[in-house]
Amino acid sequence: MTKSLQSEDKIIIGKIGAARGLDGTLKIIPLTDFEGRFDGLEKIFVGDKLFNVEEVKHISGQIFIKFAGVDSREDARTLTNKFLTVDRKDAAPLADGEFYTFDIIGCEVFDENKKLGTVTNVLKTGSNDVFEVDGKTLIPALKSVVRSIDIAAKKIVVSDKWSVVS
């Protein structure tokens, strides 16, 4: 996920794509790292409106949702390109040492000697995440580099013994 679009109390987990068929079913573009996040959903916000979920389908590796009250292709089109959110309290649980991208963005980064800046983005590279600091410095999110993360204090401490990539 690129730059955070979260609010303090809501977490974005997807975006609505095109209508599928004539009954109001919508294609979903997942914006979450948690496979199966949409399975078992009963309610979800589309913008500021809460919808009841009638059905979640997985077809050819894609996700489709049918909302109660969205019963035609025309109804579905009014929701296209809107974000799907859940209450922060309903976020998928994390293991110790794991953090949500949206919690990392905005943290101040320090090495043992000085402030380096603020995390503006988290890049997903496949092997490990990379913290983008002030839009120019890249810090690998590795245990050998990151000494501590304190989400409550919005503070990350990194080793001063790594190469800066700017």
In this structure, CATH architecture of domain 101-158 = Roll (2.30)
Q: Among 84-98, 108-122, 139-153, which stretch is predicted with the lowest mean pLDDT?
A: 84-98
Q: What is the mean pLDDT of the chain?
A: 88
In the chain, what are the domain boundaries?
A: 10-90, 101-158
Examine the pLDDT at 145 and tell me if it is beyond 90. yes
Cα separation of 74 and 53, whole Å? 18
88 CB burial (10 A radius; 0-12, 13-18, 19+):
middle
Q: Which of 104, 95, 26 is nearest to 62 (CA)?
A: 26
User: What pLDDT, in 10s, does the model give residues 147-162?
Assistant: 999 999 999 999 987 6
The pLDDT tens digits for 92-102 are 788 888 888 88
More confident residue, 10 or 81: 81
Higher pLDDT, 165 or 154: 154
Mean per-residue pLDDT for 75-86? 94
H or E stretch covering 110: strand 108-110
- Give yes or no for residue 5 having a pLDDT over 50: no
Q: How many CB atoms lie within 10 A of CB 135?
A: 9
Q: How far, in Å, CA of 119 to CA of 145, rounded?
A: 15
Each residue's pLDDT tens digit, 9-62: 888 899 999 999 999 999 999 988 777 889 988 999 998 899 999 999 999 989
CATH class for the domain made up of 10-90: mainly beta
Per-residue confidence (pLDDT) for residue 26, from 0 to 100: 97
Q: How far is it, in rounded angstroms, from Cα 7 to Cα 27?
A: 24
Domains 10-90 and 101-158 share a fold: no
> What tokens appear for 157 in the block?
């401490």
What is the CA angle 57-12-122, rounded to 5? 115
Query: pLDDT higher for 91 or 13?
Result: 13
